[in-house]
Amino acid sequence: MLNSGDVMSPALTRAKTGPKSAQARGPRLTKATVSAIVSAAILSGGLASTPSYAQLAPETPSVETPFGRAPLSFADVIEKVKPSVVSISVVAGGKNVAGKTGKNGLPEGFPDIPEDSPFYDFFKNLPKEFRNAPQQQRPTQAQGSGFIISADGYVVTNNHVIDGANKIQVSFDDQEKLDAELVGTDPRTDIALLKIKANGKQFPAVKFAAKPARVGDWALAVGNPFGLGGTVTAGIVSALGRDIGSGPYDFLQIDAAVNKGNSGGPTFNLSGEVLGVNTAIFSPSGGNVGIAFAVPAVTATEVIDQLKKSGAVSRGWLGVKIQNVDEDTAAAVGLSEPKGALVNEITPNGPAMNSGLKVQDAIIAVNSEKIADSRDLARKIANYAPDTTVDVKVWRGNKEENVKIKLGKFPGSSDEIAKLEQGGGGPEDQTSTDLEQLGLKLAPVKNGEGVSIMEVDPESDAAEKGVKAGDVIIEVGGSSVAGAADVAEGVKKAKEMGRTAVMVYIKSADQRRVVALQLKKS
């Protein structure tokens, strides 16, 4: 907010008080010129008539909404939805923690007193009950946005807005503040559901859009950026299906200005329906650069329904690690196109452990639904309830196979997933074998499975795909290996089958992955 004493920007100052330059004055109009303009106006229908939107752009049809033709003004739709948008205030921390000793030997929080000071011994020799007394953490405050989805006070916001909160309040445009309690959260989609403590009070609510957004649709963001509640910005839906690295779910991309504090707020369409929940921005500086991301309405509604019922979201879990099938992988396993998800590890004690699914299987369909890539598989599996049995179609050994798997419940954290099996050791000695076809130098492994990679040709396909010295090759072409001869045999078989690449199962530290390595031409 600008106060009377604030200094305006140079551009605004010049526009208001700048000198009357020749550029500012512009060309002078003679009486003859004015007369000609007036005559032309009279001939075309008069100066008083103002061209309509349709007259200005007859080739662009207008869009009818409950608020008239778009995009003449957003005022009507904002007037309708704004009372349902709230600001979220959160207080976190403030708990007692055990007292600690600082680097200078004094209780943590005491000044850095030199050891030769007469006060040093006094503070250092404080009784134990003073030295180790619980200390009060300073509470932290945060702000975000949210919106009401039911008259009885359910509020949608982001999980990261209320994470760790001790106290949550919602604020309305009329400055009314009400306490709210947490119903449930879903970190994977960054959705949180709150309930206002209102003793039967009714609230204005908005609803989610039934139709999915399209690229080019208007997008109106309402929220609480930088604590400035009730802020409205406008833009369009810039893209669909964005992957922002937070699981298998896709996000909307919008160019309406979204900043810190907009998190959890809604993006509306011109009918006043919620297209998505604003959750993240892309910005090198931390401010708006015209790229923001929102959880689509269809995803948000599925999550909210489960949070209302149980306070948590249950998702199906296959218990495998997967990767995309790229062109080299497709060539190595004999697929006609790079589609599907390749299994590179099966989680011990997971749902797929004893199902018959194998490492290097390419999953190409689930319950007859084709799989495009690894994210598509993760999303489809997550949409099934735990304990659902699914029919998984895989590509294995140049033909299709079907495996039935009873899904488990997706673990809430990585700690709930069994640790991956580890094994193998360093190379037994420096005796190595060159495998020119792959650009690798191999050596036996001590007390473990597979064959160790001693060197990688920096010009090879293996180097380009991140294979490095110290990695261990466990399988080649689906067959286990115990030495360099087995790797060479796997390469030979791939060439005899007319393949231009071979599947190699590699262990790197505690991670395992499948890599399709191109074969060098003889």
* pLDDT for the residue 63: 63
Q: Exposure of 80 by Cβ count < 10 A (0-12 exposed, 13-18 middle, 19+ buried)?
A: middle
Cα angle value 265/268/273 (rounded, 5°): 110
User: Across the chain, what does the average pLDDT equal?
Assistant: 78
131 backbone dihedrals φ, ψ, rounded to 5°: -65, -45
Secondary structure (DSSP) of 39-106: HHHHHTT-SS----HHHH-TTS--EEETTEEETS-SHHHHHHHGGGEEEEEEEE---EE---B-TTSS
Half-sphere exposure of 373 (CA within 13 A, CB side): 9
Q: State mean pLDDT over 171-193.
A: 91
Q: What is the pLDDT of residue 115?
A: 67
Tokens 């619980």 correspond to 134
Cα 31 to the chain's mean position, in Å? 64
Q: Is the pLDDT assigned to residue 62 strictly greater than 90?
A: no
Q: Could you tell me the pLDDT band of residue 522, with boundaries at 50, 70 and 90?
A: low
Give residue limits of the domains in the chain.
96-136, 218-306, 316-416, 433-518
Give tens-digit pLDDT for 393-429: 999 988 999 999 999 888 764 444 433 333 333 444 4
Query: How is domain 218-306 classified at the CATH fold level?
Result: Thrombin, subunit H (2.40.10)
Most confident of 111-115, 199-203, 286-290: 199-203
Higher per-residue confidence, 37 vs 306:
306
What's the average model confidence in pLDDT over 270-294?
A: 88
Which CA distances in Å does 81 have to 3, 144, 270, 350, 499? Answer: 29, 18, 11, 46, 60
- What is the structure's pLDDT at 498? 83
Model pLDDT, residue 496: 83
Burial class (CB in 10 A: 0-12, 13-18, 19+), 222: buried
pLDDT band at 494 (very low <50, low <70, confident <90, very high): confident
User: Are the beta carbons of 170 and 86 closer than 8 angstroms?
Assistant: yes
Exposed/middle/buried for residue 292 (C-beta within 10 Å: 0-12, 13-18, 19+): buried
162 neighbors 185 (Cβ within 8 angstroms): yes
**pLDDT score for 419:** 36
Mean pLDDT for the stretch of residues 285-293: 84
378 three-state secondary structure? helix
Coil vs helix vs strand at 364: strand
* CA dist 336 → 221, 326, 398 (Å): 44, 11, 10
Q: Check residue 139 and give its pLDDT.
A: 62
Instruction: Report, as residue numbers or ranges, the catalytic residues.
Output: 160, 190, 263
* pTM recorded for the entire structure: 0.62
Q: Which residue has the higher pLDDT, 243 or 369?
A: 369
CATH of 316-416 among 2.30.42.10, 3.40.50.150, 3.40.50.300, 2.60.120.560: 2.30.42.10
When pLDDT is averaged across residues 42-51 and rounded to a whole number, the result is: 37
Average of pLDDT values for 87-95? 79
pLDDT > 70 in the chain, percent = 71
Report residue 18's pLDDT band, with 50, 70 and 90 as the boundaries: very low
Indicate if 433-518 has the same CATH topology as 316-416: yes
Q: Give pLDDT, residue 73.
A: 86
pLDDT value of position 160? 92
Per-residue pLDDT at 125 exceeds 70: no
Say what the pLDDT of residue 8 is.
Answer: 31
Q: Measuring CA to CA, which residue among 150, 154, 513 is closest to residue 326? A: 513
pLDDT of 221 = 95
pLDDT at 13: 27
Would you say how long the chain is, in residues? 522
Model confidence at 138, in pLDDT bands (50, 70, 90)?
Answer: low
CATH of 433-518, one of 2.30.42.10, 3.30.56.10, 3.40.50.300, 3.40.50.2300: 2.30.42.10
Mean pLDDT of 40-57: 37
Per-residue confidence (pLDDT) for residue 404, from 0 to 100: 93
**In this model, does residue 50 exceed pLDDT 80?**
no
Above 60 in pLDDT, residue 154?
Answer: yes
